[in-house]
Amino acid sequence: MSKQIKPGKEVKPLLDQARAADLNVDHRKGTWIITAPEGGHPPIFIGNNVAAPHSLNNYKAAIRRMAQATEPADEQPANTWGMPNRWTIADLLTYASGQGIDVQAVPGGLRIVAASNGHAQAVAEVLRLNETSILRHLENPDMHNPAEVVELPSDMFVDDAYTVWACLRDEARAQGDKPAILNRISGVLWAGARDNTIATLSPEWSPAYRITLARFLADCGAMGAIRRGRAPLWWLSIEWPAERAQEIRQSGLPVAVLVETDPEPEIEIEPVIERPASDLDPIAALTRIKARIEQAEETAAAESERADEWQRRAGAESERANNAEIRAEDAEARADKAETRVSELEAENDDLRDQLDQVQPKLAELTQIKTLFRDLTGGSH
């Protein structure tokens, strides 16, 4: 007899709500899965512990919509929050231009230049998938087919993105919920291939829809890449960023949902390549990241030492300059003293000349007296 799994106290009312609406409730690997009996709708994944109130509200709303849906998901009327859900090619080009996207017809196809953010790239994806219609419109704007339109997503779009995040969040929890920080926001690490997970989660989603979901998750702050490549490593938010997700949703993000009858390209899921456990081990990945951080710190320390050495040299040069300035000031002071002494000597010399001028008449008189005395005495002394 299999062990019965008891849901958490926050999860149990959600499961009761789903069962009361005749929805299927299953449990697999620590996650509750709610599906519609008729199929055609993305499943709802719920972890065994839900704490945030907005997460509970999101789950309740998703279950309620699934229960009320009587048509296949592809035929549900779109809730576009007051914006048009069907765009003509002309309107789409006008919207793209307003987003700073440059669209030009060039030999061999369509040239699209868009910013790297998820919103602009999502619009660019819509343009690429409608390339034939856009080229026809650019060649003759007055003769374009009014039926060639694109659509905005239904309100299930955010729920689909939340479903992907919840699934990845459960996988991260199974990997140990290793703490991580991205852009100073706390989260957890998850090691795995995001695109393969999205494709496996709902195979009926179109490739363009999957791409847009992935970009939406990044734009709303639900996840971000820490390392891409052979062993992808991701950052996941601890709680679903509900407010940011709805803010982006209400801005009218176009999604590549086509009305034209062109066959949809098939997605090619890359085969899973067996890699050493160390390549997929998040602890090993953290060790490698830590090693790179330590290397960067060592480089920064070396640069700091060089900066300190240059600062010491600059200080020595400054000290030598100060000493030279002091010596110059001393020499200038000595020169001032010498000049003062010269002035004093010149003054003394002037005094001596004055005294000599006064003595010379007396000396001449004395000489005359001596001459007379010698004459009187007969030249004898």
Q: Which residues contact 146 (CB under 8 A, 6 or more apart)?
A: 88
Q: Quick one: pLDDT at residue 141?
A: 54
Q: Quick one: pLDDT at residue 275?
A: 46
> CA geometry: angle at 274 spanning 272 and 275, to 5°?
120
Q: Quick one: pLDDT at residue 40?
A: 55
Instruction: Label residues 205-236 b or e (16+ Cβ within 10 Å = b).
Output: bbbbbbbbbbbbbebbbbbbebeeeebbbbbb
Give the number of other Cβ atoms within 10 Å of residue 119's Cβ: 19
Give the span between the Cα atoms of 162 and 62, in whole angstroms: 10
Give the span between the Cα atoms of 366 and 381, in whole angstroms: 16
Domain boundary, last residue among 234, 263, 292: 263
The owner of tokens 């007055």 is: 142
What total number of domains does the chain contain? 2
| Spans of the chain below 70 pLDDT | 1-5, 29-30, 39-43, 47-55, 58, 69-87, 116-119, 140-156, 229-230, 249-290, 378-381
User: Residue 123 is inside which H or E element, if any?
Assistant: helix 118-129
Q: Quick one: pLDDT at residue 53?
A: 53
Q: Quick one: pLDDT at residue 259?
A: 35
Q: Which residues contact 246 (CB under 8 A, 6 or more apart)?
A: 158
Does 111 fall in a domain? Answer: yes
CATH of the domain at 39: 3.30.920
Q: Quick one: pLDDT at residue 346?
A: 80
Alpha carbon 235 to its chain centroid, in Å, reads: 13
Does 307 fall in a domain? Answer: no
Does 276 fall in a domain? Answer: no
Question: Domain range spanning residue 105?
Answer: 83-263
- The model's pTM: 0.34
Domain boundary, last residue among 212, 237, 263: 263
Q: Which residues contact 233 (CB under 8 A, 6 or more apart)?
A: 189, 190, 191, 225, 226, 227, 282, 285
Domain boundary, last residue among 18, 41, 71: 71
